[in-house]
Structure 1
Amino acid sequence: MMEHDIASPKGARRARKRVGRGDAAGGGSTAGRGMKGQKSRSGRGLRPGFEGGQMPLIKGLPMKRGFNNRYKTYYALVDLDTLQERFEANTQVTPELLHELGIIRRTKLPVKVVGDGELQQPLTVAAHKFTASARAKIEAAGGSVTEL
């Protein structure tokens, strides 16, 4: 047996239907495109979402438009009330410790400490970012702040 002798078994491959090859042919005349109209003509078709000239649905849903800023930095937020409730005085608070205790979900996001609530005990807090009020409240309670 040679390469040129190899062939698919009969019925395994079906020839594609050649449409638009004369009126008598199967799929002739309109070639499956229906009667007259824009979609029966050759060339580029209609753009996605085109509704025949009436106001498109997307124009009536302003909240569905817009874009996602790929350069925005998203932070895992931690407030001072959480630190007050979950940690003893003079604890070294790090993003890894916050993740272990389930306060933040992922360690991939940078941690930002926000100034919601009050802090009574001194803590050493290490995070990627602090709000001005959070920094002031931590230092007022006798703690220290370390930016990573």
Structure 2
Amino acid sequence: MKIHELDTSKSTKIRRLGRGISAGQGKTAGRGTKGQNSRTGSKFKPGFEGGQTKLAMRLPKSRGFTPLARVEYQVVNLNDIEDLGKKTVNAEVLKEAGLIRKLNSPVKLLGNGTIKVAASITVDKASQSAVKAVEKAGGKVIVTAKPKAEKAEKDAK
């Protein structure tokens, strides 16, 4: 198949611009009378704002980088678990209580508040202060997330 063998759809009507007054889009061909937009040639560059400083130049440069595999943890505090009053706490219990939104996203336990209930808490990550507070109350924290792999040492040449 070649470009001249393609059929145009029968419903489309070709508008021939600038072909006389009776054609409907004659003389100025819908471009108005004068000004930059009525002239031939290229338009202004993308991001051009009429001569004022571009937005990209006004904003500060972004520093660093955004990691591709960023992990968003759902945060649960000790006072939330204290309010539950359950002996075993895991993602399903937290979801039923409305403390987390998704079951497949990781949960992190933080040490905000106090806990007096001896509870067994299963989470993906926990802060040191939260672990100490739970163990002080007689409970235990089970962390299920994999620890970070240690970086291999480079051989000195």
Q: TM-score, normalised by structure 1?
A: 0.70
Q: Provide the rounded CA distance (Å) in 2 between the counterparts of 1:24 and 1:83.
A: 79
Counterparts of 1:36 and 1:84, CA distance in 2: 73
Residue 80 of structure 2 aligns to a residue whose secondary structure is helix
Report the aligned-residue RMSD: 3.2
Distance (whole Å) between structure 1 residues aligned to residue 45 and residue 71 of structure 2: 34
| Distance in structure 2 (CA, Å) of the matches to 1:14 and 1:84 | 69
Instruction: Write the letter of the residue equivalent to 1:77.
Output: V
Q: Which runs of 5+ in 1 are unaligned?
A: 1-7
In structure 1, the partner of 2:18 is 20
- Per the TM alignment, residue 98 of structure 1 is displaced from its structure 2 partner at its CA by 0.7
Aligned residue type for 1:15: K
Runs of 5+ in structure 2 lacking a partner?
1-8, 145-157
2:134 partner SS: helix
Q: Pick from 110, 127, 133 the counterpart of residue 129 of structure 2.
A: 133
Identity of aligned residues (%): 38
- C-alpha displacement of 1:127: 0.5
The Cα shift of 1:57 comes to: 6.6
Separation (CA, whole Å) in 1 of partners of 2:125 and 2:108 = 5
Q: Does 1:76 align with 2:74?
A: yes
Structure 2 residue aligned with 1:146: 142
Give, as a single letter, the amino acid of the residue that structure 2 aligns with 1:133.
S
| CA gap 1:55/1:144 in 2 versus in 1, 3 angstroms | same
Q: Which residue of 1 aligns with 2:154?
A: none
Provide the rounded CA distance (Å) in 2 between the counterparts of 1:117 and 1:59. Answer: 45
Q: 1:92 aligns with which of 88, 92, 108?
A: 88
Structure 1 SS opposite 2:122: strand
- In 2: Cα distance, 1:146 partner to 1:14 partner: 67
Counterparts of residues 1-148 of structure 1 (less than 5 Å): 13=11, 15-21=13-19, 25-47=23-45, 50-55=48-53, 69=66, 71-88=69-86, 91-148=87-144
Name the CA distance, whole Å, in 1 between partners of 2:57 and 2:85.
50
SS in 1 for 2:79: helix
The alpha carbon displacement at 1:121 in A equals 2.1
* TM-score (norm. length: structure 2): 0.67
